[in-house]
A and B are shown apart, each in its own frame.
Chain A
Amino acid sequence: GDSVTQMEGPVTLSEEAFLTINCTYTATGYPSLFWYVQYPGEGLQLLLKATKADDKGSNKGFEATYRKETTSFHLEKGSVQVSDSAVYFCALSETNQGGKLIFGQGTELSVKP
């Protein structure tokens, strides 16, 4: 079945460092891809999305490009801030699966001043 694999955390960076969180997926069809962020004690929030190959999603300085040839959707940010400390989830959704989101295991990011 469909699945999402993320790089393991925790990831610890200094403020203003470059961030990459790897995400690869396995899907039978043509899924939409998402990054969700979970701040401490809160629910998940959609960070960005891409619905077809070569689409780039972006929000709050974060970017991810839907790469069909490598089945990847890596999250990047050029300069992280302490306020970016959170858990990041990569997810996919296929319309033939009732709208279900399939999540990766999550990657915890800690940014130190």
Chain B
Amino acid sequence: EAQVTQNPRYLITVTGKKLTVTCSQNMNHEYMSWYRQDPGLGLRQIYYSMNVEVTDKGDVPEGYKVSRKEKRNFPLILESPSPNQTSLYFCASSLSRVSHEQYFGPGTRLTVT
């Protein structure tokens, strides 16, 4: 089944404790991105990657890192999480950056206390 998977689905952590949210897709997509969803703000892009070893900042990259060492994986790293990073995070992938459909993972709900 074609899908985007994320882990963990739920995470509660404390300020400053490094964490990684994994994202994997099995559709051989070139383009992957991370979004955060906050009430009243819709989804905002954090980082994106057009292919292996090619990443770039989205609209809200501060406090996040990403890497793209393999085509299928695109982990999101929070080196020192803060409470303002409490949010619902979605990974998405598409065939290319000009493809018209992005496929979304099920989301990771992160709470930073």
B34 to chain A, nearest CB (A): 11
Q: Are A95 and B97 in contact (CB under 8 A)?
A: yes
Which of A46, A99, A104 has the most chain B CB atoms closer than 10 A to its own CB?
A99
Q: How far is the CA of A106 from the CA of B65 in the complex (A)?
A: 27
Q: Are B97 and A43 in contact (CB under 8 A)?
A: no
Bound CA–CA A34/B100 (angstroms):
9
The reply to whether A105 and B99 form a contact with Cβ atoms under 8 Å apart is no
B100 touches A93 (CB 8 A): yes
Query: Are A49 and B41 in touch, CB under 8 angstroms?
Result: no
- The digit string for B19-39, where 1 denotes a CB below 8 A from any CB of A, is 000000000000101010000
Residues of chain A from 70 to 113 with CB closer than 8 A to chain B in the complex: 89, 93, 95, 98-101, 103-106
CA of A43 to CA of B35, assembled, Å: 11
Knowing A44-B90, A105-B40, the reply to whether A99 touches B31 (Cβ < 8 A) is yes
B56 to chain A, nearest CB (A): 6
Q: Measured between C-beta atoms, what is the minimum distance from A109 to chain B in Å?
A: 15
User: Could you tell me the distance in whole angstroms from the C-beta of B55 to the nearest C-beta in chain A?
Assistant: 11
Minimum CB–CB distance from A78 to chain B (whole Å) comes to 25
Contact of A45 with B by CB under 8 A? yes
Is A101 a contact partner of B100 (Cβ separation < 8 A)?
Answer: no
Given contacts A42-B106, A51-B100, A93-B100, contact A99 B42 (CB under 8 A): no
Nearest-neighbour CB distance to chain A for B7, whole angstroms, equals: 13
Q: Is A32 an interface residue (CB 8 A)?
A: yes
- State in angstroms the CA–CA spacing of A42 and B109 once bound together: 11
Give min CB distance, A44 to chain B, whole Å: 4
Q: Is the CB of A44 within 8 A of B104?
A: yes
15 A-B residue pairs with Cβ-Cβ distance under 8 Å, sorted by A, are: A43-B105, A46-B102, A49-B100, A51-B100, A95-B97, A98-B97, A99-B48, A99-B50, A100-B48, A101-B35, A101-B45, A103-B42, A103-B44, A105-B40, A105-B42
